[in-house]
Amino acid sequence: MTKKICLTGIKPTGTPHLGNYIGMIRPALELAEKENHEAYYFIADYHAIITVHDKKKLEGFIHEVAASWLALGLNPSTTTLYLQSHIPEITELAWILSCVTPKGLLNRAHAYKAALDINETEKRDPDYGVNLGLYNYPVLMASDILFIKAHYVPVGSDQIQHIEIARDIAKSFNHKFGNILRLPEAMIQEKTKLVPGTDGRKMSKSYGNIIPLFLSEKKLRKEIMKIPTDSLAPSAPKNPDSSFIFQLFEHFGSESEVNDLRAAYEAGISWGDAKQQLFEKLNSALAKPREKYEDFLANPFKIKEVLEESALRIRPKAKALLNEIKEALGLQPF
């Protein structure tokens, strides 16, 4: 039976947060453990340089993202964890794909359109602050996915459009050059596809509403205690389903723990007590990974070893596909 290839990436543009973990990292790690699945998870450093132009910051974020995967249970002997820029075939393929990508497809991409909208609101030139990397982002992402012939791409719902674009590019390529590229499918879990942040919007680095994954116990407690709540009296019944605290708890508690907290909300629990319960739950789930995370950050050579070994494993596959593609295009006339 052919193995199902799973692939996903995270940009090293900030510190990983609970939304990344619940929405993508945890489901991706579960998928990697399934029988007949082969997982390739990567750090999208070439995507990050679209916005991060500070050497120290970028290096730090790359370490943090890699350490997070490893601390949360990625097994590097069965799951290939790699750095995008270690596989130059991906950027080579991106150029080829850009030559079969209609410009109009990229005009409609969300991230580019969002930049245009901000410029319009601010009454600036539409291209202000837009580099070609941002514009081409979906082509590089298509190349990330297509170079390994991925079947499934576990992501949060904000990435659906990018995966649709990757499918469109693959179709356009196959139509011209033969059935070489596999059309990938987004893998999205209904319950975790959009984790809210402390202000109720999607938890995102860009909105400043995140709870970082790896805080010290003391800082985690402080973050949780800071979550804004309404002014209902401590003993007043509260609606669990509109409470960020409860929603976060649901992602970590067992069924009976969640039912107990729901009952406590309905009977009247103080916000302080609800926050304390959430803190204890999160802290016990994250205590062990936190220790491993700190260890990886203190010993970056352990990360380097994993990434270098992965590059050796993947590059022959990437080269083989690229050769097949070049041959189909007429780029190997001799």
Residues engaged in binding ligand ADP (CB under 6 A): 10-11, 19-20, 23-24, 155-156, 158-159, 193-195, 202-206
Cβ distance to ligand ADP smaller for residue 119 or 204: 204
| Contact in structure between 136 and 106 (CB atoms under 8 Å) | yes
The conformation of residue 268, written as its DSSP 8-state character, comes to -
Q: Using the rule CB under 6 A, which residue among 44, 274, 282, 307 binds ligand TRP?
A: 44
Q: How far is the CB of 320 from ligand TRP (least distance, A)?
A: 20
> H or E element: which one contains 185?
strand 185-187
| 47 touching ligand TRP, by CB under 6 A | yes
CA distance 171 to 314: 24
Q: Across the strands, what pairs with 40?
A: 7, 80
Partner from ligand ADP, ligand TRP, none binding residue 162, C-beta < 5-8 Å depending on class: ligand TRP
Binding track over 3-22 against ligand TRP, x by CB under 6 A? ----xxxxx-----------
Token pair for 200: 């109720």
Nearest to 253 by CA among 226, 285, 276, 214: 285
Binding mask 129-168 for ligand TRP (x = CB under 6 A): ------------x--xx-------x-x---x--x------
Q: How far is the CB of 82 from ligand ADP (least distance, A)?
A: 16
243 binds, among ligand TRP, ligand ADP, none (CB under 5 to 8 A by kind): none
Show the DSSP H helices in the chain as ranges: 18-20, 26-33, 45-48, 55-71, 88-98, 103-107, 110-121, 132-146, 160-177, 217-225, 244-250, 255-267, 271-298, 300-329
Size of the site for ligand TRP (CB under 6 A): 14
For residue 42, what are the contacts with CB-CB under 8 A and spacing of at least 6?
A: 7, 8, 9, 81, 82, 83, 84, 144
Q: How far is the CB of 9 from ligand TRP (least distance, A)?
A: 4
The runs of H, that is alpha helices, within 241-270 are 244-250, 255-267
Shortest spacing between CB 24 and ligand ADP, in angstroms? 4
CB nearer ligand ADP, residue 20 or residue 310: 20
CB nearer to ligand TRP: pick between 44 and 322: 44
Judged by DSSP in three states, 87 sits in coil
Determine the distance from the C-alpha atom of residue 180 to the mean position of all C-alpha atoms in its chain, rounded to a whole number: 27
CB nearer to ligand TRP: pick between 38 and 144: 144
**Residues of this chain that bind ligand TRP (CB under 6 A):** 7-11, 44, 47, 141, 144-145, 153, 155, 159, 162
